[in-house]
């Protein structure tokens, strides 16, 4: 009888535990923290010994560290589109066929299509309060300056406070320009051709070989002059037109001021959490750090061992700590899943005009941002959820930033869309140790809209095979990036094609130093054949969609320009400085 009683007690206890566990994984709060251009080697929890990141490192100590976490693209716009939708950016038209792979202007007409379903839309429909604080970079308007078809609030966020585009060097006076070199290069040939044409016309007119009406020449000169003036004026006013801060649909600071900017973003995030302590919430805190132009407030400037870049990383870590403290203060730790990542790897070519390194560290991995070498796509992946996710665990399986979509949608008790392919997979079984192998047998790595590489992790093997169909031409050749062009490009003379493809086994050669050959790998052609079959299957799953990053969608359109005053008043306003500054307390 005692044994029966003990058995009954054990059954009751187990049922209670299962009930608690089931309740704990239902509709938790979700906090998504995304850095910009952060190298996987910049954090202490990924091996950095000199940068101080105790708050981010605490997420690893109290949660799971993904050591093979992969961004769906090596550039901001496509990577973020994939993150929000759980789909390769090629499926939504957010991958470019041209050289430019991201949005550059606030008044472009391209953006994340309204037909796409974001995790924020699904969570909002399921009772979540939703907010995006920080960088967006997925478009703004379509046909007028106030239709806001691509705005965060049109994609499921109740609240938006941040930058519609991104943090350019051009946004901060004295930091140089990301456009100047490219504009100079692109204008040299047209200006030379125009000059030669005008001189030739003048010569043939003078010697009487051809009679050209002076009126036609006048109109031609006028068009050329007006075009040059517009280009010069646009880039002269680039900061006002593209670097501004919005709250929901209103501009609150134009141009953007960097003074205590991280503190302001952090304060907004903290206030959002405190407004929603009694309701499930989704907070996407999308940092401007550590994309250039680099900045740091007075409390952090000059304090790190790695110049302004290190100061920015350490200030971001402080911000993460403030968010975690608010959760602790309101007893929300056990009810909240916290995720930290970067949109892609560090931008290794970022060097200031003074010669200071402004790019991050990708550890042992080759290349960086804009490339599909591991340094460009292997990013931090930290998940903390006390009582649900095992603390201090490491998972070395291939995972993707697209996996966050199905993971949090299922946690919110929402339904995954059944009318489209979702490329991400639910991470929870892996995080809780229910399975040991990732569902990602294959991952496809795109350089803009071009399939660049494929990763294959067979179910019966520890190997992680990776093939490259083409690779970027580094400049200088013996460097680790495309320093001459500032980023690597995806086609033409900027790449070298490989037939047969380059093959690596990342389990033995994570640095991608020595390509395998039929002589060094007996299964070389079999591996290539299996991967090619996977590519064929993947390609058949793609459907034609409008290209959101076509030249027409990328170009600046004056009628789409957001301006808090008027273009004639240089688009200036500052409603932020009227409030009291957010004081920073270190300790």
Distance of CA 452 to the CA centre of its chain: 18
The helix/strand/coil state of 373 is coil
Please give the pLDDT value at position 22: 41
Residue 357 has what DSSP assignment?
B
179-236 folds as Helix Hairpins (1.10.287)
Question: 395 forms bridges with which residues in the sheet?
Answer: 66
pLDDT digits (tens, 9 = 90+) for 299-336: 999 999 999 999 999 999 999 999 999 999 999 999 99
What six digits make up the tokens of 491?
Answer: 């086609």
Tokens (6 digits) for 379: 């990013």
Strand 64-66, strand 393-395: pairing: parallel
Q: Give the per-residue pLDDT at 566.
A: 74
Of 13, 23, 45, 137, the catalytic one is: 137
DSSP secondary structure, 51-80, as one string: S--HHHHHHHHHSEEETTEE-SSSSHHHHH
Taking the C-alpha atoms of residue 166 and residue 159, their distance in angstroms, rounded to an integer, is 18
- Give me the residue spans of the domains in the chain: 29-167+244-439+545-560, 179-236
Q: What are the start-end ranges of the E strands in 111-254?
A: 129-135, 159-163, 245-247, 250-254
pLDDT of residue 568: 65
Closest to 375 measured CA to CA, from 403, 349, 394, 402? 349
Active site residue 488: no
Residue matched to tokens 């799953």: 541
Query: What is 29-167+244-439+545-560's CATH topology?
Result: Alkaline Phosphatase, subunit A (3.40.720)
Strands (E), 257-321: 281-286
**pTM of this structure:** 0.90
Q: CB atoms < 10 A from the CB of 515, how many?
A: 17
SS (H, E, C) 388-436: CCCCCEEECCCEEHHHHHHHHHHHCCCCCCCCCCCCCCCCHHHHCCCCC
15 is catalytic: no
- Which pLDDT belongs to residue 216? 67
Give the Cβ contact number of residue 306 at 10 Å.
18
Identify the pLDDT of residue 213. Answer: 72
User: Are the CB atoms for 69 and 411 separated by under 8 Å?
Assistant: no
User: Residues in the chain with pLDDT < 50?
Assistant: 9, 12-13, 15-23, 580-587
Backbone torsions φ then ψ of 531, nearest 5 degrees: -65, -40
Residue 578: its pLDDT value, please? 62
- Quote the DSSP letter at residue 47: T
Model pLDDT, residue 419: 97
Q: Hunting for tokens 């996977």 — which residue is that?
A: 534
Same-fold call for 29-167+244-439+545-560 versus 179-236? no
Q: What is the pLDDT of residue 1?
A: 52
- Alpha-carbon distance of 536 to 498, in angstroms, equals 18
Residues ≥6 apart with Cβ < 8 Å to 227: none
E strand segments, 149-260? 159-163, 245-247, 250-254
Are 342 and 37 in contact, with CB atoms under 8 Å apart? yes
Query: What gap in Å lies between CA 426 and CA 399, rounded to an integer?
Result: 10
Check 13, 15, 23, 76 and give the catalytic one: 76
Q: pLDDT at position 8, please?
A: 52
């Amino acid at each position: 009888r005692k044994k029966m009683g003990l058995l009954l007690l054990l059954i009751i206890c187990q049922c209670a535990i299962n009930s608690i566990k089931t309740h704990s994984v239902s509709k938790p709060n979700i906090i998504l923290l995304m850095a910009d251009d952060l190298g996987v080697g910049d954090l202490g929890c990924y091996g950095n010994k000199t940068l101080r990141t105790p708050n981010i490192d605490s997420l690893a100590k109290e949660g799971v560290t993904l050591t093979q976490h992969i961004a769906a693209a090596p550039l901001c716009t496509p990577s973020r589109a994939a993150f929000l939708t759980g789909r390769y950016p090629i499926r939504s038209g957010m991958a470019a066929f041209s050289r430019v792979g991201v949005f550059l202007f606030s008044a472009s007409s391209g953006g994340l299509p309204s037909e796409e379903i974001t995790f924020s839309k699904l969570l909002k429909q399921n009772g979540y309060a939703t907010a995006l604080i920080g960088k967006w970079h997925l478009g703004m308007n379509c046909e007028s300056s106030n239709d806001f078809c691509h705005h965060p609030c049109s994609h499921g966020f109740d609240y938006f406070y941040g930058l519609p585009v991104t943090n350019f060097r051009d946004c901060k006076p004295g930091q140089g320009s990301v456009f100047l070199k490219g504009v100079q290069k692109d204008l040299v040939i047209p200006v030379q051709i125009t000059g030669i044409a005008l001189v030739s016309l003048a010569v043939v007119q003078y010697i009487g070989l051809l009679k050209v009406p002076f009126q036609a020449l006048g109109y031609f000169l006028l068009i050329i002059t007006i075009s040059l003036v517009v280009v010069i004026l646009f880039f002269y006013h680039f900061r006002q037109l593209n670097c501004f801060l919005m709250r929901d649909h209103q501009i609150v600071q134009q141009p953007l001021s960097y003074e205590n900017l991280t503190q302001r973003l952090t304060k907004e995030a903290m206030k959002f959490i405190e407004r929603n302590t009694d309701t499930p919430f989704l907070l996407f805190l999308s940092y401007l750090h550590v994309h250039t132009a680099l900045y740091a407030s007075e409390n952090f400037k000059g304090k790190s061992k790695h110049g302004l870049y290190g100061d920015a990383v350490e200030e971001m870590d402080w911000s993460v700590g403030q968010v975690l403290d608010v959760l602790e203060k309101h007893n929300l730790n056990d009810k909240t899943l916290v995720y930290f990542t970067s949109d892609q790897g560090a931008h290794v070519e970022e060097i200031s005009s003074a010669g200071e390194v402004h790019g991050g560290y990708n550890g042992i991995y080759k290349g960086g941002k804009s490339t599909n070498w591991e340094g460009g796509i292997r990013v931090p992946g930290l998940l903390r959820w006390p009582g649900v996710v095992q603390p201090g665990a490491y998972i070395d399986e291939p995972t993707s930033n697209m996996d966050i979509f199905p993971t949090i949608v299922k946690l919110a008790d929402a339904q995954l869309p059944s009318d489209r392919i979702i490329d991400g997979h639910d991470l929870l079984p892996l995080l809780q140790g229910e399975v040991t192998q990732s569902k990602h047998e294959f991952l496809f790595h795109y350089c803009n809209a071009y399939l660049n590489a494929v990763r294959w992790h067979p179910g019966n093997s520890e190997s992680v095979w990776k093939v490259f169909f083409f690779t970027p031409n580094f400049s200088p050749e013996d460097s680790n990036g495309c320093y001459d062009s500032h980023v690597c490009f995806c086609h033409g003379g900027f790449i070298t094609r490989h037939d047969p493809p380059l093959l690596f086994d990342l389990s033995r050669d994570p640095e991608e130093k020595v390509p395998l050959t039929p002589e060094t790998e007996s299964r070389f052609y079999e591996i290539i054949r299996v991967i090619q079959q996977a590519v064929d299957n993947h390609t058949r799953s793609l459907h034609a969609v409008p290209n959101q990053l076509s030249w027409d969608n990328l170009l600046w359109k004056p009628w789409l320009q957001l301006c808090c005053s008027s273009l004639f008043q240089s688009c200036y306003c500052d409603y932020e400085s009227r409030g009291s500054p957010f004081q920073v307390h270190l300790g």
